Structure 1
Amino acid sequence: MIRRLIAIAALIVAAPAAAQPLTLETVLKSSAQHAPAILEAITRERQAEGRRVTAEGAFDLLFEGDAQSRLLGYYDGTVVEGKASRPLATNGGGLYGGYRVSRGTFPVYEDKAFTNRLGEVKVGAVFSLMRDRLIDERRGKLGLAGSDITLAQLDREMVAIGVQRRAIEAYQNWVAAGMRVRVYRDLLGLASERQASIERQINLGARPDILSTENRQNMVRRQTLVVRAEQELAAAANALSFYLRDATGERQVPAPDRLPAGFPELRLPILGPDLTRRIERPDLEAILVRLEQVEVKRLLAENELRPRLDVRAEAAKDVGPPGLGGARRTPTEGIVGLRFSMPLERRAARGKIAEAAAERDGLRYRRKLIEDQILVEVNDLAIQATTADRLVALAGDETALANRMADAERRRFQLGASDFLVVNLREESAADARLRQLDAEYRRSAARAELIAATADRAQLGL
């Protein structure tokens, strides 16, 4: 008894596990992670991030060094100087500090080169009061680079939505092809079962011999339909493999035994008059980001119209014993200065302002165009989805009635009250009704998939 139980357990373990049906969620998860188009869009996002780092480099700490010495001539002065500076991130000015030390003698017109024995330490700052106070070229480029990252992210989302929409379409085609194969196989199975019954009736003398040949001819025709449907299924599986990938990103062709029982259930999004305000379409959001970039360009152009007024404050201190220049350099020095400049002909700035205004108006018109296109597209898809629901219900009723007629005609044929031609027509009529029902279900599922893509339903798109 124990040995028998062990043998049964071994057979259960050795039996191959049934393949799990391939779900739409699995396909969407795979395509979202491994689709080459999405991965390419991610690289463009990384490029935009690199450009932002480049723009941040304008605010890097800069060190400069300079040294000079007279090798020939009456004077033998040597000066070594180092300076570090950093631009301000909130003003067009900057901070700086440096150290300078000199040895030897200098001519009177270079008296400024003299320092004490241990050199001179200097710190200072420059602040913009008019031009470059609120925005300058460095901060403008940094803002534009940040907007470019957002645009790259929105472009990646737009690409991902398109990829997921095509993945759903490929999955729906695969499921529809598999269900057609089932319909044709069931139709072939009916003819095969009837062949055995016809052979028995011929042996009993109740049916003529030609009926067997006629049914075999019908079986061959139905077998042809099965082969063609299987070919379409294989092609659909191959197309689906573009979106179904393994952990390394390699394509996977789904096997026929992984076909689900029906089409995926997709929820209809909530529609309404304020649809364009509720949905988060990347193309609409990209228009807003581009408007922000245009505003930055306009501010930069207006900044060029302003006069420049910079204030500079500097403190310097010589340390150590007096040098050859004398002890008067020992006290701390404090310097305050102003610099003023004003452009007299500002046509370049005015031209940039006019260009930015025109670009802004164009983007606003484009946003209105996209909003109208979205409303028309979504309303059209909503009409298709609503109509598809009604057509599926009608097709289901037609299939049920056709199946009842086919079942009744088969019983009449078994009792000898019907002929082969009528029962064959009833079966094919029922199969055609089932195919029309499949087509209606496919159209309903496809309309819903298009609708969730048009409304950027990221949850159902697997994003």
Structure 2
Amino acid sequence: MKKTVLRYFIYIFIFSHDAFCKEIFTIDHMERYLTEKNPYIYSAVGKQYIDAARIQTAQGGFDTRLSAEYDKKDYPLSNSEFSDISFSKPIENGTELIVGYRNAEGIHEYNNIKTGSEGEFRVGVKVPVFSLLNEMNERKYTLDSATINATRSTFESQNNLRNLYAHIVTSYYQLLYYNELVKLEKRLLYKAKKRNSFIEKRVHSGDLSDVALLESKQQIISREQRVLRTNNSYSQALQIFLKYINMSQKDFDLKYDLPSLKRVKKEKIIFQNVFSKALKSRPDIRALETKRSKLDLDTAYNTLSEYPKLNLFAYGVHDIKYGDGIKVGLQFDIPLERRGYKGKKMEIQMGITQLEEEKNRLLLELKTNLSNLMYSLDIVNQNIDLGHKETKIVESLEEVENKKYEVGSSDLFQVNQREMGTLEVKRKQLEYYLNVLMIQQEIKREMGEFITL
């Protein structure tokens, strides 16, 4: 007997300890699980790391290059030997520096280079004239493009997080709603079971007919079915939410309890403050700005096509045996119709116009959405205030109907109607609370709020 009692108290202690150790799961707890280890989060931001890596790829265009060449020929009427090793270094303004050593003897098919037996050293420079004057060249364009794309990708990732975070928070609020709804349905079932005990006593004493007990049992079954349906909705909402935080239901149930939907903080929001913050914080608006930067860069690069491709180069050589020498040259190339330049210029101009209109549309939608959301929030808050008054009325009516039933001046049908009416009003009130929270979250999404990784 003592062991049984002791075991009973141990069970009570363990249960109480587990319950005491559970935390109330809030929005702050959610952010613990929304890290880059979460597949939903990484899918939203992964592209920015790819685009950031492409910057280093573009920087490779400025790498110092080592080149080597060797050619030996032994034909019946001619022979030769040629070797060359050189370093070339492109710099940001488009100029390319070259330094190297070569040795050429005999007759060569591909060049007329000939050096002394000990070879020669050479130092050279290649200057793209119009690239230098316009401070633009292909390598610089490639690097600047990669940098702008990486910046835009970062803003796009933040925009993905903005939408994903709003979706996850919304699923959290829906979970709280169904959790509250389960409690309401269970409370409704409890009332039916409690009344059933009262009816059984009245039937046994002969004050009520057997039909009353059958009606009571049918009512219990109906309400048990309602509880099952609501539990199913809650379970589905829980699974949807848990997939976003990448957590099993077992672990969640061991660690956390859910707060009351009515206790989740409601915030006072001012339209003008919200709109001003959205203009500064919305990552999709900032992404548009980077698109404009890219078009400006395209314009600068396309300007090169307006001019001929003019390269000047000069080489100084020092032959170890014969002394110093110099070579200068010029390369000139220009398409006569210049359709590529004109077409690209028009393409960029159309792109700028389209981008400006896209931004205007985005700002117009932002202002309209925020205005509608603020109005909806005000209406729902008014409904909550009215709902408090309505709840008190239906609870009083339900209480009166139950007292009438106990003294025999009402029937089970009327009592059921009153209780279902009370449940419906309370459910409607829960929906108002849910709508307030979801509208607040939508306003935050429009403002550009997202989690910081």
Query: Under a length normalisation based on structure 2, what TM-score does the superposition of the two structures give?
Result: 0.85
Displacement of 1:353 after TM fit?
A: 1.0
* Residue 409 of structure 1, CA deviation: 3.7
Q: CA deviation at 1:34?
A: 5.0
Q: 2:72 aligns with which of 69, 73, 82?
A: 69
Q: 1:238 to 1:111 in 2, by over 3 A?
A: closer
Paired residue for 1:353, among 342, 345, 349?
345
SS class of match (1:113): coil
Identity %: 20
Look up the equivalent residue of 1:451 and give its one-letter code.
I
Distance 1:131 1:14, change over 3 A: closer
Find the counterpart in structure 1 of residue 124 from structure 2: 124
The corresponding residue for 1:97 is 99
Offset at residue 365 of structure 1 (A): 0.9
Structure 1 Cα separation of the partners of residues 338 and 194 of structure 2: 93
Within 5 A, what are the aligned runs for 1:321-360?
322=321, 329-330=322-323, 332-333=324-325, 344-360=336-352
**Distance in 2 (alpha carbons) for counterparts of 1:149 and 1:231:** 45
Q: Deviations over 1:176-203 (max 9, x none)?
A: 1121111111111112112222333444
Q: Against the structure 1 CA distance between its residues 167 and 277, is the aligned structure 2 distance closer, same or farther, given a 3 Å change threshold?
A: closer
Task: Could you tell me which runs of 5 or more consecutive residues in structure 2 were left unpaired when the two chains were aligned.
Answer: none
Aligned-residue offset at 1:296:
1.4
The equivalent of 1:147 in structure 2 is: 148
Q: Give the stretch that moved more between structures: 166-175 or 270-279.
A: 270-279
Alignment map for 1:274-289 (pairs within 5 Å): 275=276, 278-289=279-290
Q: Counterparts of 1:362 and 1:336 in 2: how far apart (Å)?
A: 47
What SS is found at the alignment partner of 1:17? helix
Q: Is the partner of 2:99 in helix, strand or coil? A: strand
Mapped pair 1:231 → 2:232: yes
Instruction: State the alpha-carbon separation in 1 of the partners of residues 359 and 260 from structure 2.
Output: 43
Residue 402 to residue 32, structure 1, CA distance change in 2 (3 Å): farther
Per-residue Cα deviation, 1:144-169 (whole angstroms, up to 9, x for no partner): 12222223222322222222222122
- Counterpart of 1:66 in 2: which secondary structure? strand
Aligned equivalent of 1:59: 62
Deviations 1:383-439 (A, max 9, x none): 111211111121122112222332344345445565544433332222121111111
Shift of 1:307: 3.6
Task: Supply the AA of the counterpart residue of 2:446.
Answer: A
Tell me the equivalent position of 1:163: 164
Question: Aligned partners of 2:232, 2:49: CA distance in 1, in Å?
Answer: 42
Tell me how large the CA RMSD over aligned residues is.
3.4
C-alpha contact (below 8 Å) 2:292/2:355 kept by paired residues: yes
User: 2:422 and 2:43 mapped to 1: Cα distance?
Assistant: 48
DSSP 3-state at the match of 2:131: coil
Q: Normalization by structure 1: what TM-score?
A: 0.83
Q: Is the 8 A contact 1:27 1:244 kept in 2?
A: yes
Aligned residues: 443
Task: Give CA deviations for 1:87-114 in whole Å, capped at 9, x if unaligned.
Answer: 112x111111101235x5669x988522
**2:443 paired residue number:** 451
Q: Does 1:433 align with 2:436?
A: no
Letter in 1 for 2:259: P
> Following TM superposition, by how much is the alpha carbon of 1:238 offset from its aligned partner in structure 2, in angstroms?
2.5
The CA deviation string for residues 259-281 of structure 1, in whole angstroms up to 9 with x for no partner, is: 32225435455431853763422
In the alignment, structure 1 residue 365 sits paired with structure 2 residue 357: yes
Give unpaired runs (5+ residues) of structure 1.
323-328
1:92 match: secondary structure: coil
